[in-house]
Structure 1
Amino acid sequence: MASDSGKRAPQRVVKCPQCGGDSIYSPGNPYRPFCSARCKGLDLGAWASESFRVPDETPPDDQPFGDPKLQ
Structure 2
Amino acid sequence: MATIVDCPTCGKKVEWSEENRFRPFCSERCKQIDLGAWAEEKYAIPAVTPPQEADDDDIPSR
Q: Aligned residue pairs: how many?
A: 50
Q: Structure 1 or 2: larger strand share?
A: 2
Instruction: Work out the percentage of aligned pairs sharing the same amino acid.
Output: 48
TM-score under structure 2 normalisation?
0.68
Unaligned 5+ runs, structure 1:
1-9, 59-64, 66-71
Q: From 15, 18, 21, give the equivalent of 1:30.
A: 21
TM-score under structure 1 normalisation?
0.60
Higher relative contact order (CA 8 A, sep 6+): 2
Aligned to 1:68: none
Unaligned 5+ runs, structure 2:
53-62
